[in-house]
Structure 1
């Protein structure tokens, strides 16, 4: 069935208007995730800052000298990546649930069950797929660029530019064609990664337009949120005050700037919650509308 890309693009605002408490739960969820992540990697962040400061003072550039910085960074990444993947799966499932199963509104549609596991699996598979394709395609571009330089053939740089544009166009096409994988997974309660190709067939341009409109609106939400938050940040001293604490210990910084840091965390949690609704909800709405509101009778009972 045909669907209105413009109408679907505004689904995030309709979700928040229909269930305003969902925004509160999502903001609290982001707040908890941020605080938990900070608590888990706080020691590693201090280690990273210390290692980076030592490296900067020594002026050394050998691999052995850089290893402490890389080790500290990898320790942070090893914690942040799984936390972010799980949190993203939960929030994406919640937003999709708010569109496909609006009756399941308890706790702001947030759950931790098989829906989230399936969404996590799909997200990880898609992440790996795009990562591998990026390495392959841009590796080819790099090889052509290297050959052009080695063979002293400047004309080949035109081929390099065309390959870059072709790779970008391919990734955009693939992202749009796979954009309904998670909504399908949520709606049909099964892992459905490549089913999106069949649903998006012949609808590339409307879906791309919808995605671009949702992206622009998320930027507008961020800008408006920043304007609203400015008086609060000024009242708490703002994060700019941290510049005057350079060189101080972490406990000293937290003791002196905790109001500004707390305000920043809360404000960003609220803005992120609204942005995720604006960006994610349209894809579930697109799937619902393409299927005529009945992708799976059990889903909409």
Structure 2
């Protein structure tokens, strides 16, 4: 099978049509993640929404006003991040399995095993690689910019701008060259975060085009979903309703904000699962076709 970037870009839509039950189960897992987040951080989430509402009412928030929101956000992320990473690994492996092994559809292609551990490990390794690749050029840009300011040599600003653009281009190049790491790990059942380099050699531009198409399609789905969500949010109050439960117990929170939480969880679970399929499936299709070719 020859690789077609355009054909692969729409694999997510074919997947949702071929395996709607699996996509529904992925949505259910997102709802479970939201409920777990609420169970862990319910009162803190209400405090966060209350702080955000207060900031929105201020004409010119001061740094000390932002500090409380920042601390609440940091606490929320630190608490939920491990669970979120685990769920992401399960779902990323499920999407790859749905494309590469379509007959094994039990439990929506979701498993908990070595494949998921390998996907989690690869995800963490790539996160570190991209963090370094993104940080180093802009540290140099900051240093060169500081020297340019101190010395008054304007040409150094041109060097800084060019270096910043080169850094962005380098990160995009790295993202494309390593984009097949997850489907490769699932298909070959081995920890190989950098073997994607060999598979994507000479395919940078088609893969970049495929990625752009899939991201745009996911954004369109999100935009259409927001139009559907708007009247539901107006009827239930959305998560902003939690701002009125600052300091309330978990029981009071659930009793007063249940409709808003249920609506938010179900709708966002469905949208997230659709966007997951649209954005992740193309890379598994590209791996399948490139490997076959």
Q: Which moved more, 1:200-209 or 1:30-39?
A: 30-39
Q: Name the CA shift for 1:292/1:61 in 2 (closer, same or farther; >3 Å).
A: closer
Structure 2 CA distance for partners of 1:157 and 1:114, relative to 1, 3 Å: same
Q: Describe the shift of the 1:205–1:106 C-alpha distance in structure 2 as closer, same or farther (beyond 3 A).
A: same
User: Residue 268 of structure 1 aligns with which residue?
Assistant: 268
CA distance in 1, matches of 2:232, 2:204: 42
Structure 2 residue 12 is the aligned partner of structure 1 residue 4: no
Structure 1 pair 241–39 and aligned structure 2 pair: CA distance change class (3 A)? closer
Name 1:165's counterpart in structure 2: 165
Structure 2 unaligned residues grouped into runs of 5+: none
- Which stretch shows the higher mean deviation, 146-155 or 207-216? 146-155
Aligned mates of 1:221, 1:104 — CA distance in 2: 27
User: What is the deviation of 1:266?
Assistant: 1.0
Structure 1 residue runs of 5 or longer lacking an equivalent are 294-301
Q: 1:72 to 1:257 in 2, by over 3 A?
A: closer
Using the TM superposition, give the Cα deviation of residue 131 of structure 1 relative to its aligned residue in structure 2, in angstroms: 1.1
Offset from partner CA, 1:56-113 (integer Å, 9 cap, x none):
x9x9978xx96x7766544333222211211111110000000011111011111111
Cα distance in structure 2, aligned partners of 1:20 and 1:8: 19
- Using the TM superposition, give the Cα deviation of residue 224 of structure 1 relative to its aligned residue in structure 2, in angstroms: 1.7
Paired residue for 2:218? 218
- Native 8 Å contact 1:241 1:257 kept in 2: no
- Correspondence for 2:132: 132
**Structure 1 counterpart SS, 2:154:** coil
Equivalence map 1:106-125=2 (5 Å): 106-125=106-125
Q: Provide the TM-score with structure 1 as the length reference.
A: 0.85
Quote how far apart the aligned CAs of 1:222 are.
Answer: 0.9
Residue 291 of structure 1 aligns to a residue whose secondary structure is helix
Structural mapping, 1:133-282, within 5 Å: 133-234=133-234, 236-239=235-238, 242=241, 246=244, 249-250=247-248, 255-282=255-282
Aligned to 1:297: none
Larger RCO (CA under 8 A, 6+ residues apart) = 2
- In structure 1, distance between residues paired with 2:134 and 2:7: 33
Partner SS state of residue 3, structure 1: coil
Structure 1 residue 226: deviation in Å?
Answer: 2.1
